[in-house]
Amino acid sequence: MHVIVRDGIEPFVGADGAIVRELASPRNSLLTRHSLAEIRHPSGTASQEHYHTVAEEAYYVLSGQGGVRVDGETRAIKPGDVVVIVPGQRHKVWQEGAEDLVLLVTCVPAYAVEEVVFTG
């Protein structure tokens, strides 16, 4: 058994201002095929529009409010919502309201910066 303690993982701040904790991936766990991260978007932050060449991605909204755009379609997101993104779909997420937008994000195969293409 391999248990990872969330608070033992040092977060980092991405170029878009999001606070990222890589909870489990091939880089820090026994996983070999996928990754799991907590991504926190503080007030006024948004991801840069991008797509993945090979990874499927799912966002589960833990807390906060925000918006997501996938291939030009925009939706409001709130706690309990799941956004499913397949390879090649351009997407962007942003925080709205008073509370940080906190997402649990999975990628299969595991997140790798070299397969991400930034578009905007």
Over the chain (120 residues), the average pLDDT of each successive run of 10 is 94 94 95 96 95 97 98 98 98 97 97 90
Burial class (CB in 10 A: 0-12, 13-18, 19+), 68: buried
What pTM did the predictor assign? 0.93
pLDDT at site 82 = 98
pLDDT at site 99 = 97
Q: Running DSSP on this structure, what letter comes out for residue 86? A: -
Rounded to an integer, what distance in angstroms lies between the CA atom of residue 50 and that of residue 111? 13
pLDDT at site 63 = 98
pLDDT at site 50 = 96
pLDDT at site 15 = 87
Q: In what order do the strands lie in the sheet with 19-24?
A: 12-13, 19-24, 35-41, 101-108, 56-63, 82-85
pLDDT at site 120 = 72
Beta bridge partners of 65: 96
**DSSP reduced 3-state for 1:** coil
pLDDT at site 31 = 93
| CATH number given to 34-108 | 2.60.120.10
pLDDT at site 62 = 98
Tokens of 75: 């939706």
Question: Strands 50-52 and 56-63, how do they pair?
Answer: unpaired
Domain ranges of the chain: 34-108
